[in-house]
Structures are given as C-alpha cells and as structure tokens.
Chains A and B, each alone.
Chain A
C-alpha cells in the first residue's frame, strides 16, 4: 500500500513535469492591444557577440524610438520579439519557429550565416525575412528572404566597376588577384568575380585564400607578386587584411599595385592594427554612412545611442541595425496602408503574404534617413538597398570619394557552379 502511494505521487510528478511546457506555452498569450509583432534575432552572445550585441541594441533602440516618438506605425505599436541566437544554427532554427508560433509577421537576422540556417524554414512556410548582412545564397533565386544591404559580391562588383571607370588607365584587361578569407565573406567576392569579371573586362590571375588567424601571407603574396598584378582585392576582416597589407608593404608590392577592400575589412580597427602609414591610399567599399555624417537620420540615432547604449557609439554595425528597424517600420507602414491592419494582425500565412506583397514589394525610394543607400524593391531582385560608396584611406582616416553607386545585379543561379 505504501508502494502504491509512492508510485502514484511519482506518476503525478512526472506528468506535471511533462505538462509544464504546455503551461508556459499557454502563458505567453498575446497582450491584447493593437500591436504588430516582428521577430529579431541577433548573435548577442557567442563568437560573433562583438558585432551581434550592438546590432541587437540598435534594433531595440530604434523600435523604442519608433514606438515612443513616432507613435508606432500608423498608430499601432510594434512589439518586438527579440531572441539571441549565439551564432548557433540550430538555435536560429528554433528561434524562427518561435517567431512563427507567436504571431510575428516579419523577422530579421543580423548575420548572413544565421539567415542561411533559417531561410529554408522561412521559405517553406512563406514567412518573410530581412537579413541585414546579405549573401547571394540568401536571395538567389529570389524567394521570401530579402537582403537589407549589398553583399560581399556586390562590393566586388561595385569596386570593379569603379576601378575600370576611374583608376585603370592602361589598355586591355587589368590583372586582378583576389585574396579571400576562408568563409562566405571572402568567397562571396570570388563568386561575383567568377560571374562578372569577363563582363567587366577584368582578368582574374589568381585566387588565394587565408585564414582569419594567419600569421604571415608572405608565401602567397610572393607568388602573386611574381605574376605582376595591377590590382589586389582583399575580401576579409580587419586583422588578416592588416597582415596582408603589412606583408605587401614589406615585399615592396605596395605602394605599387592598387588595393581594394570589401566592407568587412575597411574599418577603424584596420587602420589601428596596420598603421596609418601602411594603409595610405587603400580603397574600400562601404554600404553605410559614418557616425557624424550630415544626414537626416543621424541626430535621432546619436541621441538614442547616447541615452541607452553609450558604449556602442561609433560602432558601424549599430548604424546597420538601426536602419534595419527603420526599414521594418516602413515595410509595416506600407503594408498597413495597402492591406489593412486586420489582415496583418492574424499572424498566419495570409498575413505573411500580405506583408511581403503589399509591404516589402511596394517599397520605393525610401531613404532610411540617409543612413545608407535608398531602399527600393525591383522585381526579380531581393536586395533592398543596392548602393555602396567607395572610400579611400587618407592620413589614417577613411574618407568617402564617391556618392552612392549601385552595384549591378548578378544572377548567380544561372551558373552551374552556384550552390542550389
């Protein structure tokens, strides 16, 4: 008899434990009130936290600005479900499912790798998403994932075009060597070069790869130097880029060849590590403005960063994510105008279709407070902003030398070698 009681108690405990998730799942009932829900996930902890944490801050700060000062979107407050993904693919997969469960109608990610982990789930369910850092695999062929900014392939294409138009003075094809980081940052540039170099009239003489922790690239640069390049394009992060520049300087290659950098590399950290003397005259591509530039959205962003996250001032990724939230608000505004609030609040596949067709795809010339290139949707092209500016390092300062240039569209899926 004692046994029976004990067994009964244990069974009850087990059942309670098993049902507990159900209780919490029911517990997060939507707060009634007219809101629109969006989901945001950033790698705020883990290996990419240095970029992800300010981006998460910026997303939330911008929505606070939109909700408090602008009265939300057309009077409706925007409720942000923010989740950290710790740069882990399986976690991002569960995050997206949670967004869909909780009735979000749009979601955003910070890194392209995280979006690549969630895009299949989102595409299959027709749940639209906007990735702030873009990559060709996310939006070619175009489905329900949109890229906020130009990707590393676009960087290369824009720089290549600028180089052909403004710097190259010889006859025939200039000889370009690529030096790539061993991940999608570097290989994004390679894919663009493979697809578009012939069209632009450039000859790619060598493609080299390096790791993020490389100690010396003297070997690859010696080989490159022996083939007499005219221009070297490095698509990488600041530390290895600095190392390559130092090695190129030591070998006597630079000053000499023209050097161009992708937007992951041309940051203040690069100038700090390599030194202003070595980086003098290096070109680079960047898709957003700088802190302190005179554009309409700068004042509010600076005010909020100083109020809420003063340590993030000066961080370029903060600008990107602030702009991402502004774009979200604009998408919602256009969608509410065209499709109506009631269609959107349902939070199911109909709302998602409405947000996409009546919101994202109706974006036209939205200037994002001037923080980056203008945002417009063109059919067949899921990149929202396609423009970058060319910069050059002069005296240790990264100065812009052009206005917004549009990066040409490359239809990667036409090529056999592009991943399906």
Chain B
C-alpha cells in the first residue's frame, strides 16, 4: 500500500484514472462510507447543516463551471436558484406533478433562462457581463414577486415533501440521503466534465477567447453551454432547497447570496473540483459558528460593548475573509490542498 510519488502508468486507462492507487480507493470509499453513515451520529440540527452544505455545493459547483472553467463572470446566481426553487414548488404544488418532474423542470427552466440571459456574453465580458447578470437576477426576482397568480407573489409559496415512487422524504435523514446523492452525482459530473472535450473548450475560452475562436472553438455554442450547465445545477439546487425548507419567498434569494456564492468559489479555488467543496464548507460552517456560538457568547459577556457590535460583526468578518483570501491566497484553498498533497507525496524530499 503506497501512495504515488511519481508518474508510472502502464496503460491508457491508468493514465486517465481519477483514483490511481489502492490507497486512493480506500480513502475515497472510506470517506463516502463515513458520509453516508453520518445520520447515525449527527442530530437533526447538524444533519440540517450538512443538508444545507449539500444544496449549496450543487449550486456552487454549477457556478464554478461557469466562472471557474469558462471564465464567464456571473454575479446573479441566486436569481437562477430562485427560479429553480419556484419552478419546482409550482410544479409540485399547483400542478400536482411528481417531485422528479419538478426537479428536472427546475433545472431545465433555470438552464434555459440562464441561456437567454447569457446571450450578452457573446458580445461582452468581464465587468459588463457581471452587471448583466446582476440585472438578470433583479429582473427574475421582480417577475417572481409580481406574477401573483402563478408564484404567489410577495407572500411566497409552499413546497410539499419530495416523494419518489411513493416514498415521501419526511425526515431529515431521508432528505440527507437524497441531497447527498444529488451532490455526489453533481461533483462527479463536474470532475468528468473538466476532462472531456467540452471542459477543455471551456478552459480555452477562459484563458483567451479570441485565440480559442481562431483555433476553431465555436464561442457561441460553448459560452451558452456553460451558462446552461451552470444554471441547470443552480435550478436543481433551488428545487432541493425549496423542498427542504418547505416554504420559499423571494426575500431568501438576495444579491448578498449571489456575492456569497462568488466568495465561496473564490475562497475554495476557482477552476478545480474540490474548490467548491472547501469554499462551501468553510463559509457555511463560519456562518453557523458565528450565529450559534459567537453572537450569543458576545451578547452574553460583553454587555458593555456598543449594541452594534454583534450585529455588525458578521458582514464585517465575511467581507474581511473574502478580501484577505483574495490578497493572500488568490488561488484558494484548493491550491493549498494540492500543495499539501504534493508535499506529502514527496516527503522527505518536499522542497
């Protein structure tokens, strides 16, 4: 049992494999086993946190494909998640169709709308595209808020329990299995996407789209495809979110959320597969720790502090974390993780 310290593959399949040695497989299966066994030792609350992380991961992976792999800056992701959530709720609540139809419909609707709002990416990029996506989010939310008859308007809409083939996902544990499975499939898809022709085309577009076009990559097709895939995943995440909370309202999907998603993938590491995982886990755990542990602690012990201390500390901390990560580690946690793995493999020659 040894971990690889060099490249010595004997067949093409070995060269292309994601997990290359037996030790890799042991760790990977062990991790999956641990993950799926977690309902045994986590209470409802922590399972809920893991569920939230899973949902966020699906959306963040989509955003990573769009921004990290294809280089199309999008700060309107929360709008597409909202679209997916509302579609799924409307399909299951008003039209009374099964949950799986709602899930797929949510992804498709979000993907198609993402495609439409991604059309400007043909003509503009960088900051201009970012503003377009912000405008897209506001338009989507405005339509959701005002189209009373279909979406329930400002009040919001209920989403019933998800149920597949008669089995209703009532408890936190059953929802955990559903969400985790979807998240695992999504990450697996993203990992493999990066290794195919499509993924390579994305990276080429990101690095220099003019050169890519000269090389023969159809910019229109690949940019719109990136938008579609990214927003499809956002739609799926939105659907899971709607059924997990049970009631959704446009207020849940604000510009702050979009900014937070960008922060998550940057902190995690753009353009990698594990990047979104790190970023999502870090930000969500930070949020939970701040609200559950830190704020009551501060409120309890520091009565003398100005009353704005606990209320202002969270945004300040998040802003600071984003800024510091960008300045000190712009390639994100995934880069640190890759360095750690490399150092470990080459130890004691890791200089």
> Are A and B close enough to touch in the complex, i.e. CB under 8 Å?
yes
Interface residues of A (CB under 8 A from B): 3-4, 7, 11, 14-15, 18-19, 21-22, 25, 44-47, 49-50, 52-53, 56, 82-86, 88-91, 93-94, 97-98, 100-101, 113, 116-117, 119-121, 124, 135-137, 182-184, 186-187, 191, 308-309, 311-312, 417-420
Query: Do B310 and A25 have beta carbons less than 8 Å apart?
Result: no
Chain A hits for B296, CB < 8 A: 82-84
Extra 17 A-B pairs, beta carbons < 8 Å, given A82-B296, A84-B292, A93-B52: A4-B1, A14-B30, A44-B310, A45-B295, A50-B311, A85-B291, A98-B292, A100-B44, A101-B44, A113-B249, A121-B246, A184-B154, A184-B155, A187-B154, A419-B153, A419-B157, A420-B157
CA distance A82 to B252 in the complex (A): 22
- The answer to whether residues A21 and B41 also contact, given A183-B154, A420-B158 and a CB cut-off of 8 A, is yes
- The answer to whether residues A49 and B311 also contact, given A22-B42, A187-B155 and a CB cut-off of 8 A, is yes
Chain B hits for A7, CB < 8 A: 1, 23
Chain A hits for B34, CB < 8 A: 14-15, 18
* Interface window among B123-131, B144-152, B218-226, B269-277: B144-152
Q: Which of B153-172 contact A (CB under 8 A)?
A: 153-159, 161, 170, 172
Chain B hits for A417, CB < 8 A: 148-149
Chain A hits for B94, CB < 8 A: 420
Interface residues of B (CB under 8 A from A): 1-3, 23, 30-31, 34, 38, 41-46, 48-49, 52, 93-94, 145, 148-149, 152-159, 161, 170, 172, 241, 244-249, 251-252, 256, 287-288, 290-292, 295-296, 299, 303, 307-308, 310-315
Query: Do A308 and B303 have beta carbons less than 8 Å apart?
Result: yes
Q: Which residue of A has the minimal Cβ distance to B251?
A: A113
CA distance A117 to B48 in the complex (A): 14
Chain B hits for A182, CB < 8 A: 145, 154
Q: Which residue of A has the minimal Cβ distance to B347?
A: A6
Chain B hits for A21, CB < 8 A: 41-42, 46
Which residue among A19, A21, A419 has the maximum number of chain B CB atoms within 10 Å of its CB? A419
Chain A hits for B307, CB < 8 A: 53, 309, 311-312
Selected from A3, A117, A184, A186, the residue in CB contact (under 8 A) with B247 is A117
Query: Do A420 and B251 have beta carbons less than 8 Å apart?
Result: no
Selected from A14, A101, A309, A419, the residue in CB contact (under 8 A) with B43 is A101
CA distance A149 to B136 in the complex (A): 37
B207 to chain A, nearest CB (A): 35
- The answer to whether residues A25 and B291 also contact, given A45-B311, A90-B245, A184-B155 and a CB cut-off of 8 A, is no
A111 to chain B, nearest CB (A): 10
A183 to chain B, nearest CB (A): 6
Query: Do A187 and B310 have beta carbons less than 8 Å apart?
Result: no
B25 to chain A, nearest CB (A): 13
Q: Which residue of A has the minimal Cβ distance to B153?
A: A187
B344 to chain A, nearest CB (A): 8
Q: Which residue of B has the minimal Cβ distance to A91?
A: B291
Query: Do B310 and A117 have beta carbons less than 8 Å apart?
Result: no
Query: Do B1 and A86 have beta carbons less than 8 Å apart?
Result: no
A8 to chain B, nearest CB (A): 11
Chain A hits for B295, CB < 8 A: 44-45, 84
Chain A hits for B291, CB < 8 A: 45, 83-86, 91
Selected from B43, B52, B245, the residue in CB contact (under 8 A) with A121 is B245
Selected from B38, B45, B157, the residue in CB contact (under 8 A) with A97 is B45
CA distance A56 to B299 in the complex (A): 10
Query: Do A89 and B44 have beta carbons less than 8 Å apart?
Result: no
Selected from A3, A15, A90, A311, the residue in CB contact (under 8 A) with B52 is A90
Query: Do B314 and A46 have beta carbons less than 8 Å apart?
Result: yes
Selected from A3, A94, A183, the residue in CB contact (under 8 A) with B2 is A3
Selected from B155, B244, B313, the residue in CB contact (under 8 A) with A93 is B244
Query: Do A45 and B30 have beta carbons less than 8 Å apart?
Result: no
A304 to chain B, nearest CB (A): 13
Q: Which residue of A has the minimal Cβ distance to B161?
A: A124
CA distance A45 to B296 in the complex (A): 11
CA distance A209 to B63 in the complex (A): 33
CA distance A9 to B245 in the complex (A): 39
Chain B hits for A418, CB < 8 A: 155
Selected from A11, A14, A89, A419, the residue in CB contact (under 8 A) with B245 is A89
26 A–B contacts, CB within 8 A, in A order: A3-B1, A3-B3, A7-B1, A15-B34, A21-B46, A25-B41, A25-B46, A45-B312, A56-B299, A84-B310, A85-B291, A86-B287, A86-B291, A86-B314, A89-B252, A91-B288, A101-B43, A116-B156, A116-B249, A135-B155, A137-B156, A187-B155, A417-B149, A418-B155, A419-B156, A420-B158
Query: Do A18 and B241 have beta carbons less than 8 Å apart?
Result: no
CA distance A411 to B246 in the complex (A): 22
Chain B hits for A44, CB < 8 A: 295, 299, 310-311
Chain B hits for A47, CB < 8 A: 256
A59 to chain B, nearest CB (A): 12
CA distance A327 to B244 in the complex (A): 30
Chain B hits for A101, CB < 8 A: 43-45
A310 to chain B, nearest CB (A): 10
CA distance A383 to B2 in the complex (A): 67
Chain A hits for B44, CB < 8 A: 97-98, 100-101
